[in-house]
Chain A
Amino acid sequence: MKALVWHGKEDIRCDTVTDPEIQDPRDAIIKVTSCAICGSDLHLFHNYIPGMMPGDIMGHETMGEVVEVGSGVDGKLKKGDRIVVPFTIICGECDQCKRGNFSVCETTNRKRHLADKVFGHSTAGLFGYTHLTGGYPGGQAEYLRVPFADATHIKVPAGIPDEQLLFLSDIFPTGWQAAAQCDIVPTDTVAIWGCGPVGQMAIRSAILLGANQVVAIDCLPERLSMAEAAGATTINFETESVLERLQELTDGKGPEKCIDCVGMESHVMATLPDTVLDRAKQMVMLESDRPHVLREMIYVCRPGGIISVPGVYSGFSDKLPMGAFMNKGLTMRTGQTHVNRWTDDLLRRIEEGEIDPSFVITHTVPLNQGPEMYQVFRDKRDSCVKVVLKP
């Protein structure tokens, strides 16, 4: 089959690889009908997250049709079922899964010994991500083996196009969880850094959860226009002062809730000297992340407020203002998304026409053009916001 394969920094190729096979009774194989490129894939493209190996298949936003099931899956899934695959692989049985903490499932990381060393305790296995999370082949491919398939799936009905359902795999529940863990009340101003696909979903989620005011921050006019379309007030951080504008919009008190949908690759700009210093340190391996947005959020957030961080950080961040964080009594909530915790509710909202996540798609191309689309998405060329690939 064809698959997008990681070969090193900025080197992803559409290779021919052997087809996946059932390895365990709980496995299923799907024929992929749609998959997408995520901002997290860009961190891997740049080789910022340790533990990638040449030959790894990319992709963790995938859906398709079940074509084969192992003997241990039956009952839960059968040939012909249409499923969206959550990017977190879950067993459904361990203590964490039972609590709904799916992204920290205790069973599914097959390279747990690595993660235990690096993180203290292992997290769940992830598709198309690093060997720290199991090194499972990803879904930017024609076929995908789904381990623990009896639990790791979201069954979706016929009659709704792929484009509306695909993002149940990651960015829709990710944006939703980011907003949900802000405990939004009707008087809240929610400020959202980053208007990429995750930020766009977080904006819609904050609106659906009843926020009084949503403020969206980015530097790309096309993404800001998409944020505005959903009712957000926008700030362009290249031409305006984020701190001043947020003060203005909140009567000088700061937003109650702040969401970081940017992560470790904050934009580097001479007018934001800390980003330049972070980049320099990152280059000589003195720091792994560029946490400009975290610093800004801690500074601007209203005392007693909540900071929600879906943006991915990989290792070590310097100069986080812990004094302000502690004295202002802030709360920080983070995590890879517990996808299946939210998807029943979100699927219902899609079915009832409350939201149509396909608004975010700007490019749809065949799988073999995937490598070029990594560059287009990374460079924000051609007003690109979200790329869907068709195997």
Chain B
Amino acid sequence: MFHFSNIVRSKGDPAIVEGGPSLKRPQDQLARALGWFSIGLGAMELLAPRRVTETLGMEGSETMVRAFGIREILAGIMSLSVDKNAGLWARVGGDGLDAAALLSGLTSDNPKKGNIALALLMVGGIAMLDYRAAQETKPQRPARTARRRLYPNRSGFPKGLEATRSGAKDLIKHATAGVAS
């Protein structure tokens, strides 16, 4: 089987013959996809805010769109990091802000209200994915109150703690005798 990574192996080093299972679960893949989506959307909002406001009939809101772009990019970076769960929850919150901003543009005199409705629908769909990914990638670290095994008998000193301590102190006394005076 061809493995791309083998191209860069130093000659003679072990190369992959057959790949084993990955630790990545479907929800990790989903988180990754959402992360990149977030960065892409954010970049568009940041670099071409007018395109966005024109499509939505919300001209004048470019500054807000730019700020939302920065927010999207940061949430995206976080969703791609080891703290993806925090990133995904940040996205869920961001989806709420997006929806609120869109609703504020949904006035009867907005000629593009059809587009806004469509955008709202999209935000709703994405929000559901964000929420699901956030739910399913909860950190696995046990809660502070979780039951734990304790190790009070693992001193690592076969001769016992007291004997070890006094032995070490005697040794130092010998080693430094005459040095200090």
Contacts and interface: CB of A to CB of B under 8 A. Distances in A.
Interface of A: 1, 3, 5, 7, 9-21, 23, 46, 53-55, 57, 110, 135, 137, 141, 185-186, 200, 204, 207-210, 220-222, 225-226, 228-231, 238, 279, 283-284, 353-357, 359-360, 362, 368, 371-372, 374-375, 379-383, 385
**Chain B interface, DSSP helix/strand/loop, else mixed:** loop
B178 interface: no
Interface of B: 3-6, 8-24, 28, 74, 77-78, 81-83, 139-142, 144, 148-159, 161, 164-165, 167-169, 171-173, 176
10 contacts: A13-B23, A16-B19, A55-B9, A185-B176, A207-B157, A230-B155, A230-B156, A357-B156, A380-B141, A381-B140
Contacts of A375: 23, 140
B77 A10 contact: no
B144 A11 contact: no
A9 B82 contact: yes
Contacts of A359: 151, 154-156
B37 to A, nearest CB: 18
Contact of B161 (A13, A57, A230): A230
A159 to B, nearest CB: 15
Contact of A379 (B28, B140, B152): B140
A382 B141 CA distance: 10
B16 A55 contact: yes
B23 A10 contact: yes
A360 B4 contact: no
A5 to B, nearest CB: 7
A226 B82 contact: no
A19 B14 contact: yes
A238 B145 CA distance: 12
Contacts, number: 165
A371 B23 contact: yes
Given A15-B16, A284-B74, A368-B20, 13 more contacts: A10-B82, A11-B23, A17-B17, A55-B5, A185-B176, A204-B156, A207-B168, A208-B164, A226-B151, A229-B152, A372-B23, A383-B149, A383-B150
A14 B142 contact: no
A381 B138 CA distance: 14
A359 B157 CA distance: 9
B67 to A, nearest CB: 16
Contacts of B168: 207-210
A385 B150 CA distance: 11
A380 B142 contact: yes
Max chain A C-beta neighbours (<10 A), residue from B14, B81, B144, B167:
B14
